[in-house]
Structure 1
Amino acid sequence: MRVHIATDHAGLELSHFLMQRLSEDGYEMIDHGPAVYDAADDYPAFCISAAQGVREDRENGLDSLGIVLGGSGNGEQMAANLVRGIRAALVWNEDTARLARQHNDAQVIAIGGRQHGNDEALELVRIFLAEPFSGESRHVRRIEQLAEFERTGDIVGHLSEVPVRPYTQD
């Protein structure tokens, strides 16, 4: 499996650690940067590039997932989610790593480098990479709704049914 990885300065050390360990596990690692530590770097281009790499690989029939890292993982997840067709999940424990793949068929994992030690982060990534999508119809249906909204800005027959009302205290 090919794994695309990107970070900012806050996740650079973790990124190097993960690339080494995952390479030893047999994964083909593709580094989207940065190449060197720069406390003023900007994560969006790195993370978007990694997500685009995952999308392109998958469109070409390759088994591919991605990892984006930063201080919290929040901004990195947001950047990856801007790539059409990519679902990036912020992961902070084993359950969220497993469910990101099992229920959401996420192709990219976001982890906060300042939130986890190297070994803990590695375990979360390994769970994510190993977990298959369940393919259950309810999960497929929900993912299709996300894709429909991404394409059209609507979920036909669903958005109009959402009750919207002001909250009042009784």
Structure 2
Amino acid sequence: MPAMRVHVGSDHAGLELKDHLVAWLGEHGYEPVDHGPFVYDALDDYPVFCLRAAAGVAEDRAVGQDSLGVVVGGSGNGEQMAANKVTGIRSALVWSEDTAVLAREHNDANVVSVGGRMHSLEDMTRFVEVFLATPFSGDERHVRRIAQLGSYEQTGKLPPLPESARRDA
């Protein structure tokens, strides 16, 4: 069975963590794909690196390749937003082991975003490790909700409101 491919991108604030994660991934049996940056430049624009990492995940998954992604920034917020602009990507900002587990189990997130200035190197590495090791639960309610997001992404049409949201119910 081939190693899971993990696409990685960051902003300048996440460069050291990204480099650490790329090495860690290789040491732990993953196939890391580093989308940059490769040198520190405080004026770099992070979207190019995070969009490329997310697009790599989407392209791999479109052809049946087992692939996930990691985007890293100072807070992880902008990097998550960038990754989520790629069709088919569900990127989750994680800040604990619990949020890493829930991102995979409930949301089938395929890209994880972490904030390099928010946590220790050990904690962030653990969040990524947990994210990569946690499978999607496949529960019907989660599948249904993810399908609603995917449908909206493709059509721009909002799902119907449930009975519980109707004022006249």
Bin for the TM-score computed over the shorter chain: over 0.9
Q: What is the rounded CA distance, in whole Å, between the counterparts of 1:143 and 1:28 in structure 2? A: 27
Name the structure 1 match of 2:120. 117
Q: How does 1:47-62 map to 2 (within 5 A)?
A: 47-62=50-65
Q: Counterpart of 1:100?
A: 103
Answer yes or no: is 1:13 the counterpart of 2:30: no
Name which of 56, 69, 75 aligns with 1:72.
75
- Summarize deviations over 1:48-104 as a string: whole Å, max 9, x none: 000000000011111100000000000000000000110000000000000000000
Gaps of 5+ in 2: none
Tell me which amino acid in the other structure corresponds to 1:130: A
**Divergent runs of 4+, >2 A:** 155-164
Q: Which amino acid aligns with 2:38?
A: A
SS of alignment partner, residue 66 of structure 1: strand
TM-score, with length taken from structure 1: 0.92
SS of aligned partner of 1:65: strand
Instruction: Give the match's secondary structure for 2:41.
Output: coil
Q: Which residue of 2 aligns with 1:87?
A: 90
Q: Tell me, yes or no, if structure 1 residue 126 matches structure 2 residue 150.
A: no
1:103-135 Cα distance to aligned partner (Å, 9 max, x none): 000000000000111111110000000000000
Matched residue SS, 2:38: coil
- The alignment of Structure 1 onto Structure 2 pairs a total of residues equal to 164
What secondary structure sits across from 1:104 in the alignment?
coil
Q: What CA distance in whole angstroms lies between the structure 2 residues aligned with 1:93 and 1:116?
A: 9
Q: Percent identity?
A: 60
TM-score by length of 2: 0.93
SS at match of 2:112: strand
Where does residue 150 of structure 1 map in the other structure? 153
Superposed CA deviations along residues 116-161 of structure 1, whole A, max 9, x for unmatched, are: 1111111000000000000000000000000111111223423898
Q: Distance in 2 between matches of 1:93 and 1:7?
A: 19
Q: Distance in 2 between matches of 1:163 and 1:34?
A: 48
1:35 corresponds in structure 2 to 38
| Structure 1: segments with no counterpart, 5+ residues | 165-170
